[in-house]
Structure 1
Amino acid sequence: MKKSTLINAELSYLVATLGHTDEITICDAGLPIPQHVKRIDLALTHGVPSFLDTVKVILSESQIEGVIMAAEFAEVSPAHHQALLAILDQESTVTAKPIHISYLSHEEFKQRTAQSRAVVRTGEYTPYANIIFQAGVVF
Structure 2
Amino acid sequence: MLKNIPPLLGPELLATLRAMGHGDEIVIADANFPAEFLGPQVHRADGISATDLLGAILTVMPLDDFVDQAAIGMAVVGDPHARQPIYDDFQQIITRHEPSMHFSTVERFAFYDRAKKAAAVVQSGETRLYGNILLKKGIIRPKS
Q: TM-score range by the shorter chain?
A: 0.7 to 0.9
* 1:57 aligned partner, one-letter code: A
Q: Does structure 2 conserve the Cα–Cα contact (< 8 Å) formed by 1:32 and 1:110?
A: no
Of 17, 20, 29, the residue aligned with 2:19 is 17
Aligned length: 130
Q: What is the root-mean-square deviation in Å for CA atoms of aligned residues?
A: 1.8
Matches within 5 A, 1:58-97: 58-65=57-64, 66-72=70-76, 75=82, 77=84, 79-93=85-99
Show the counterpart of 1:39. 42
Q: Deviations over 1:27-56 (max 9, x none)?
A: 10111124431000111xxxx201100100
> What is the aligned-residue identity percentage?
25
> d(CA) in 1 for partners of 2:38 and 2:130?
20
Ranges of 4+ aligned residues in structure 1 off by more than 6 Å:
none
> d(CA) in 1 for partners of 2:87 and 2:104?
13
Q: Which runs of 5+ in 2 are unaligned?
A: 65-69
Q: Secondary structure at the match of 1:69?
A: strand
Q: Which runs of 5+ in 1 are unaligned?
A: none
Show the counterpart of 2:50. 51
* 1:89 aligned partner, one-letter code: T
Q: TM-score, normalised by structure 1?
A: 0.84
Please state which structure has a larger fraction of its residues in helix: 1
* 2:3 aligned partner, one-letter code: K
